[in-house]
Amino acid sequence: MERQVAPVTLVTGGTYGIGRAITLTLAAQGHTVYACGLEARQVGSIAEAGIAGTAAELAQRQLGADLAEVDVADGAQVRAWVAGVLSRHGRIDALVNNAAIHPRGDVTQTDEALWDHVIGVNLKGVFLTCRAVIPAMRAAGGGAIVNIGSGAGWGKPDLAAYSASKGGVFALSAAMAWDHLDDHIRVNVVVPGGTHSGMTGLGSVPAFERLASRTATGRVTEPRDVANAVAFLLSDAATQISGTVLDVGCFSHQGGRPLLA
């Protein structure tokens, strides 16, 4: 049965790049969106001050969303954010975990504090938000969660901490899909290809030109492509899908041709 009311949906890292596209797309599709992000630039990213930019794009499109600054690695902040949404709506229907940081380096170049920070945001953040929303979803009879993964979750050079964190997202997502199957809570992962975002903004333009030749369209994967995949997995059209990984990179992360060869 299709929903008769607008789904209440949380989006972490929802104020810049891929996350902003997800926020805009879901708002345009009728979701009541609560998006969060951090305003200060994070390690491995050019993203900063995203709330004002997201608010401006929403206004330009005559859309609305509630935007807040929340550190997903801080359990108290996550609990307060979720509690505020529940106090207003009494339910949460969907969650998108997109918040992540992307520092480079092998294990010898990654100090303990940086390792803890990456795992804290990219993996613990998923754990904290899911732990906060799943009881409400269970009480309401179900819900949908989409976690944003990465091809680095299968291992990429010079991304030791990031790869470890995203590998953990794959495993945690699969475990939650099993654990909450009978709760009618669907958990899936979307893997972006080489996508214009706060993280990839640090890369070179020629690298993206080479990426473009490795997609079905002959162009670089855009944030809107990832957002459309997320929207599908949250929709009633995907009610029979849980525990899957949807690659929006045209084979680039699943044994296809080398990404930048």
Residue 180's nearest CA partner among 229, 131, 215 is 131
Backbone angles phi, psi at 249, to 5 degrees: -110, 10
Q: How far is CA 217 from CA 73, 106, 220, 248, 259, in A?
A: 37, 33, 8, 12, 15
User: What's the pLDDT score for residue 219?
Assistant: 78
CATH architecture of 8-248: 3-Layer(aba) Sandwich (3.40)
Look at the pTM and tell me if it is higher than 0.95. no
Which one of 16, 81, 127, 162 is the catalytic residue? Answer: 162
Residue 142, helix vs strand vs coil? coil
Residues in the chain: 261
DSSP calls for 65-104: -EEEE--TT-HHHHHHHHHHHHHHHS---EEEE-------
Contact 148, 100 (CB under 8 A): yes
What lies within 8 Å, CB to CB, of 103 at 6+ separation is 43, 44, 110, 114, 118, 161, 162
Active-site residue flag, 34: no
* pLDDT tens digit at each of 261 positions of the chain: 345 689 999 999 999 999 999 999 999 999 999 999 998 777 766 767 789 999 999 999 999 999 999 999 999 999 999 999 999 999 999 999 999 998 999 999 999 999 999 999 999 999 999 999 999 999 999 999 999 999 889 888 999 999 999 999 999 999 999 999 999 999 999 998 777 665 555 455 666 666 656 777 777 888 999 999 999 999 999 999 999 999 987 655 554 454 444
Q: How far apart are CA 208 and CA 196, in angstroms?
A: 9
Tell me which residue of 179, 189, 183 sits closest to 137, measured CA to CA.
183
Helix, strand, coil share (%) of the chain residues, nearest 5: 45, 15, 40
In this structure, what DSSP letter does residue 159 have?
B
- Helix (H), strand (E) at residue 37: strand 32-37
pLDDT for 208 equals 62
Query: What confidence score (pLDDT) does residue 204 get?
Result: 56
What was the pLDDT predicted at 151? 87
